[in-house]
Structure 1
Amino acid sequence: MGQPDGGWYDETPPAIVRTSPADQGVNIKAKKINIYFNEYIQVDNPTEKVVISPPQIEQAEIKPSGKKIEVELKDSLKPNTTYTIDFSDAISDNNENNPLGNYTFTFSTGDHIDTMQVAGYVLNAENLEPIKGILVGLYNNLSDTIFTKEPMLRVSRTDSRGHFVIKGVAPGDYRIYALQDADNNYYFNQKSEQLAFTHDIITPTFKPDIRQDTLWRDSLHIDSIARVPYTHFLPDDIVLRAFTEVQTDRYLIKSERNEPDHFTLFFSYGDSLLPQIRGLNFNEHDAFITELSEKRDTITYWLRDTMLVNQDTLRMELKYMATDTLGVLRLQTDTMDILSKQPYEKRMKQKQDKYEEWKKKQERAKKRDKPYETEMPAELLEPKYNVASEPDPDQNITIEMPAPLAKVDTSCVHLYSKYDTLWYRSPFVLRPKEGVNRTYELLGEWRPGIEYSLEIDTMAFTDIYGKTTAPFKQGFKVKTEDSYATLMFDITGMADTTVVVQLLNTSDAMVKETSTTNGRAEFYYIKPGTYYARMYVDSNKNGKWDTGDYAADRQAETTYYYPEKIECKEKWDLTLTWNPMSRSLDRQKPLEITKQKPEKEKTIKRRNQERASKLGIPYPGM
């Protein structure tokens, strides 16, 4: 006696029985397409995976039902045009998910089928990440402005590898673009839409070729290897670098006053002219200390006067430059109330509660004949001291202030270094850190293996509200040179070009950065570990990566990756040759740090071999 089993697994993909109208049919006028199968099927994520070309402004309906897929086109059919409905790998059977494979239904409203194809990759211009699901399209109108006026002629979408294939292309010359189409109109009309373009003219061609096909008996055994002739369509190696333009439309996003002593205005884009403030319930003259973000799109106003700090509502007239409906910057005037999220009454209550708690603590100490205070200490200024216990020799100390300073007394700041058993004064420079508000950096002659002591006296720093700092002392010892590796890159073809080279960790985050114009990049004091490297051509020599601008015909600055991981060990000096042109951009970024991983291809599961082995019976496929 035993349990009956369900028999062999279905390892056969669904087969198309017939279509209406006929696949590869010509002179077709019907807008409804029915595809019939020999078994029940399903369509995985048709909205994302199924691409219809020419693009449909009104989205087509795709309805899988039982053993049939019905596609209804809503747009009018264009005359003498090849239509392709690319299902990719979306079709599989209903029970075992056996994929049909990449299937494209094709028909023509004219008397012939266009069969050319072009293929390639779309990558993020800044970090060479493959972009999944971005639209890629062709125009046979070679005008530079057509991309901003009319829908694409033929389209495709990228897969998880950033790869695309545009099918059903007629012979001729084309321009190619990529677009993250936010409003589904198939052309570029919003600065927020990611795009890619190239000046190369695409001319589809083909040639007979041979490829090697491997037929697998199961997941472990090869049945046969065959050389199969096929039609090789070209070009198939297009690489488009996509970017998002800088948002230059300027408007006020919001205002915030999370703390009573300052408020912040957030704009969509910066401007050389700062807003003009006229107080309606306060005197704005000399009332603020202003802090700007690097892009001047975020402006923080610190209130100098404690009377204003204690005022819950600041009513003001704000004049600032904003973009009008024609895209022109004009002076705009708003009246607004800036409300403190911490009302004065609530803060006074918290202050009183704190005083009562301190008073009770002193009374308990007095009753127990322990030391106690007769006057509550003034509130201190509490900076954040960033001092590592074992810093790198090229690592400076930073001090972050919670409020703007009125006074810095460098005579109260002392740095000592220890040689043998004696301590000596060590030179240093204390200065504001460039580009970072309310942050100071302390630069010293950090010598490997030497012990240091940073000692800061009382009242070294005083903020605009009169708060001062408490004493601070911390010792640290700089690591020895034996703890590090040194890495050099000899970069081919970049001898007269300004490039910024970045050393990356295993998360693709920058660890160190250097700029070079002679083709040699040098990194010192590298901690042992695994690293990767990226560089970009700094065309405008501003020390940062810049995006592109379609209207200005400017591409994003070109990024390259060193294609291998780099192992650094203690005491190692490593010199590597880097030829950024040796591989195409789509093959440069190492897979280990690529965040957009290729999705696993759908394949037949082939479970019958395993079942036969367990049951000890012959496998019917053998």
Structure 2
Amino acid sequence: MKAFNRNIGILFFLFLFYSCANVVAPTGGPKDIESPKIESSIPLNKSTNFNTNEVLIYFDEFVQLKNLQAELVVSPPMEETPEIKSLGKKISIKILDSLSQDQTYTLNFGEAIIDITESNTLKNFAYIFSTGSNLDSIQMSGKVLKAFSFAAPEKAFVLLYSNLNDTAPLTTIPDYIAKCNKNGDFKIQNIKPSVYKIYAIADANNNYKFDLPNELFAFNDSIYTLNYDYLKDSLSKAVNDIELILFEEEPIKRYVKEKKRETRNLCLAVFNLPLEEKVKIKFLKSDLSNNYVFEFNKSNDSLKIWLTDSVQIKKDTTSFVFNYFYFDNQDSVVEVLDTVHFTYKETKDSKTKFSMESLLHKTGNVSEHIPIQFIFSSPLSKIDTSMIHLVELVDSIKKPIPFSINPDSIKLTKYTLDFSRKVKSTYLFTADSGAFKSINNQELDSLKFLFKIVPNEKTGNLFVTLSNVNPNVIIQLVSDKDKIISEKIVSKSQKIEFKNLSEGSYKLKAIFDENKNGRWNSGKYIKKQQVEDVKIYSTDITLKLNWDFEIQWDLNEKTERKSIVPEIKPLKDKK
């Protein structure tokens, strides 16, 4: 009997062992995907005659606060931010500031309230209360976008002021605040009837004031009279569709932000902004104006100086005095005399040999529309065309071809080989040693290029018929890689052409160049100067090989603001 009981015990143990070994872990219930729900609050949300300093908000589950400082928006702002804590299934709000009479307050938590288990977010919960007998109920809404690109800002606030003085956003806290969402949309709620101005800011120092030069800022020229009589026809008691365009003000002061001496005979100066006029330069201790040549770039914000005097070239440091000017905030001329020192340091990568670059170095096939250009390492003093030859190869015969080598209108080192081309013909270009001589009397080695002109088989054309064109509109063609492919300045309704374009996607942009300086200009708040307007063609343009694409564009047509590319750099001044 004992043995039988012992065997039964062993069998029971083995049954339990194998049963446990094959147990499947509990799967639990379905994953929690719901955000926390508010069960109650003391005092009730949207209470009137509010006279306590603590609020308790109860939830249906345990909650916590995430990035509260960044997410919480208190409107109107309080001098002391409320003390807010999560306590299990409730949130405590302690009011530390004295409250104004007959004022409606909104505490918007953004995405700060989440549950503990799965971090589900209770979005845009707002606790609202009034110290008076009524809740103010007027609303304003709209969109904030960055100038030029029309991209939504990463973080921006909309500010509403009853103080209509132009200095108010520079020195005082606003009456109401709203935070933009990721699309740039905003809504200011529970506004008291009054007269207001509206602004927006990407607030770099989180003080709700436009007081730093690099802050993005937007202002609206309108004054809004908000009262219930004015809004009586609006069921929502709201002013909607307000558009605010953020811009960064251009610096006023001009200065040399970068300088270098790449070779002994070449100095480069880069200015922080385009200059109003070409700079005047001279050597610091002597006027050797014949011993250097210089050029500005197309945008008039960088300067190259080539030294020709052997004494100056041998010096490790050479100095110039730059004389230029700019306009201050009062449009008065500010003259600058700037002494700039250029120091040369020999390195293993230092280049001193006179050289030339051309697409003929890279390929033997030249598309019929591509110019053949020669880019020299320094300006030329002489081209001896008697030492240069261009022939067409027809069977075994070399047929001389008339040609010219023409200087560029801006770059002193760029030249173009011009001749009457024949598609599918083969050419031989040769230049003897010494045919090209630099301003430093260096001679280029001999050249020999064999190349063929090939047809434009991998391009398309775009034709744009413009209507309702105001004077001085810059039309830009922009690639899907954020690059400005081409631009044209137009002053009347007309048809423009963009030829020999690669296959791909493009966008069209129109810049309304009000000050006629050939570039887009940002705004200036203190002058009440808005940014120059920009319009973007409503759809992307897809070009295919050997296609002609034609579109009509009415520049008066209202199109939806949309981002073309994040932060295309504005064009520089053209002189």
User: How many Å apart are 1:4 and its aligned residue?
Assistant: 1.6
Question: Which residue of 174, 179, 189 corresponds with 1:167?
Answer: 189
Pair 1:16-2:38 in alignment: yes
Shift in alpha-carbon separation, 1:58–1:513, aligned structure 2, 3 A? farther
Pair 1:304-2:280 in alignment: no
User: How many Å apart are 1:161 and its aligned residue?
Assistant: 1.4
Pair 1:382-2:358 in alignment: no
Question: Which residue of 535, 546, 566 corresponds with 1:560?
Answer: 535
Q: Report if the CA contact (8 A) 1:57-1:75 is conserved.
A: yes
User: How many Å apart are 1:498 and its aligned residue?
Assistant: 4.0
CA displacement, residues 124-182 of structure 1 (integer Å, 9 cap, x when unaligned)? 22122222312222233445554444333322232221222222223344332222233
Pair 1:520-2:542 in alignment: no
Q: Structure 2: how far apart are the matches of 1:75 and 1:438?
A: 68
Shift in alpha-carbon separation, 1:7–1:322, aligned structure 2, 3 A? same
Task: Let me know the Cα RMSD of the aligned residues.
Answer: 4.2
Q: Report if the CA contact (8 A) 1:456-1:471 is conserved.
A: yes
Q: Structure 1: how far apart are the matches of 2:258 and 2:151?
A: 33
User: How many Å apart are 1:14 and its aligned residue?
Assistant: 0.8
Which residue does 1:370 correspond to in 2?
A: none
Which residue does 1:218 correspond to in 2?
A: none
CA displacement, residues 405-459 of structure 1 (integer Å, 9 cap, x when unaligned)? 444445555555567876452544511242x464344455556555555444433
What residue identity is the alignment partner of 1:248?
Answer: I
Q: Structure 1: how far apart are the matches of 2:437 and 2:80?
A: 65
Which residue does 1:82 correspond to in 2?
A: 104
CA displacement, residues 288-323 of structure 1 (integer Å, 9 cap, x when unaligned)? 444445555544444433443343345788887699
User: How many Å apart are 1:48 and its aligned residue?
Assistant: 3.7
User: How many Å apart are 1:57 and its aligned residue?
Assistant: 6.7
What residue identity is the alignment partner of 1:51?
Answer: V
User: How many Å apart are 1:248 and its aligned residue?
Assistant: 0.9
Q: Structure 2: how far apart are the matches of 1:484 and 1:309?
A: 47
Which residue does 1:186 correspond to in 2?
A: 208
Pair 1:430-2:406 in alignment: yes
Q: 5 Å matches for 1:433-444?
A: 433-434=409-410, 436=411, 438-442=413-417
User: How many Å apart are 1:275 and its aligned residue?
Assistant: 7.0
Q: Structure 1: how far apart are the matches of 2:531 and 2:215?
A: 15
Q: Structure 2: how far apart are the matches of 1:71 and 1:400?
A: 69
Pair 1:116-2:138 in alignment: yes
Question: Which residue of 239, 243, 246 corresponds with 1:242?
Answer: 246
Which residue does 1:547 correspond to in 2?
A: 522
Aligned length: 537
Which residue does 2:220 correspond to in 1?
A: 198
Q: Report if the CA contact (8 A) 2:149-2:567 is conserved.
A: no
Q: Report if the CA contact (8 A) 2:264-2:314 is conserved.
A: yes
Shift in alpha-carbon separation, 1:470–1:105, aligned structure 2, 3 A? farther
Q: Report if the CA contact (8 A) 2:538-2:559 is conserved.
A: no
Shift in alpha-carbon separation, 1:104–1:458, aligned structure 2, 3 A? farther
Match of 1:164, SS state, is strand
Q: Which is further off, 97-106 or 287-296? A: 287-296
Q: Structure 2: how far apart are the matches of 1:334 and 1:498?
A: 34
Shift in alpha-carbon separation, 1:542–1:325, aligned structure 2, 3 A? closer
Match of 1:308, SS state, is helix
CA displacement, residues 565-614 of structure 1 (integer Å, 9 cap, x when unaligned)? 3232233232223345555432x457xx6799xxxxxxxxxxxxxxxxxx
Q: 5 Å matches for 1:62-461?
A: 64=86, 66-69=88-91, 77-202=99-224, 232=236, 234-253=238-257, 255-257=259-261, 259-269=263-273, 270=275, 272=277, 274=279, 279=284, 285-286=288-289, 288-294=292-298, 296-314=300-318, 338-342=342-346, 380-387=353-360, 390-409=365-384, 412=387, 414-415=389-390, 423-428=399-404, 430-434=406-410, 436=411, 438-442=413-417, 451-461=426-436
TM-score normalised over the length of structure 2: 0.77
Q: Which is further off, 195-204 or 409-418? A: 409-418
Q: Structure 1: how far apart are the matches of 2:337 and 2:484?
A: 42
CA displacement, residues 248-296 of structure 1 (integer Å, 9 cap, x when unaligned)? 12345454445444444454443647476664xx756445444445555
Q: Report if the CA contact (8 A) 1:514-1:522 is conserved.
A: no
CA displacement, residues 369-411 of structure 1 (integer Å, 9 cap, x when unaligned)? xxxxxxxxx9741122245655554432333333344444455
Q: Report if the CA contact (8 A) 1:288-1:303 is conserved.
A: yes
Q: Which is further off, 449-458 or 129-138? A: 449-458
Shift in alpha-carbon separation, 1:207–1:582, aligned structure 2, 3 A? farther
Q: Percent of counterpart pairs with the same letter?
A: 27
User: How many Å apart are 1:67 and its aligned residue?
Assistant: 4.1
Q: Which is further off, 100-109 or 379-388? A: 379-388
Q: Structure 2: how far apart are the matches of 1:65 and 1:416?
A: 89
Radius of gyration: which is bigger? 2
Shift in alpha-carbon separation, 1:430–1:185, aligned structure 2, 3 A? same
Shift in alpha-carbon separation, 1:553–1:393, aligned structure 2, 3 A? farther
Shift in alpha-carbon separation, 1:401–1:198, aligned structure 2, 3 A? farther
Match of 1:545, SS state, is coil
Match of 1:488, SS state, is strand
Pair 1:509-2:483 in alignment: yes
Q: Structure 2: how far apart are the matches of 1:170 and 1:490?
A: 49
Q: Structure 1: how far apart are the matches of 2:353 and 2:183?
A: 55
Q: Structure 2: how far apart are the matches of 1:67 and 1:415?
A: 87
Q: Report if the CA contact (8 A) 1:393-1:478 is conserved.
A: yes
TM-score normalised over the length of structure 1: 0.72
Match of 2:358, SS state, is strand
Q: Report if the CA contact (8 A) 1:267-1:298 is conserved.
A: yes
User: How many Å apart are 1:104 and its aligned residue?
Assistant: 1.6
Shift in alpha-carbon separation, 1:9–1:334, aligned structure 2, 3 A? same
5+ residue gaps, structure 1, are: 210-230, 352-377, 597-622
Shift in alpha-carbon separation, 1:148–1:16, aligned structure 2, 3 A? same
Which residue does 2:455 correspond to in 1?
A: 480
Q: Structure 1: how far apart are the matches of 2:120 and 2:385?
A: 74
Q: Structure 2: how far apart are the matches of 1:546 and 1:2?
A: 68
Match of 2:526, SS state, is coil
Q: Structure 2: how far apart are the matches of 1:128 and 1:135?
A: 16
Q: Structure 1: how far apart are the matches of 2:177 and 2:325?
A: 40
Q: Structure 2: how far apart are the matches of 1:447 and 1:60?
A: 79
What residue identity is the alignment partner of 1:382?
Answer: S
Match of 1:236, SS state, is strand
Match of 2:26, SS state, is coil
What residue identity is the alignment partner of 2:160?
Answer: L
Q: Report if the CA contact (8 A) 1:124-1:243 is conserved.
A: yes
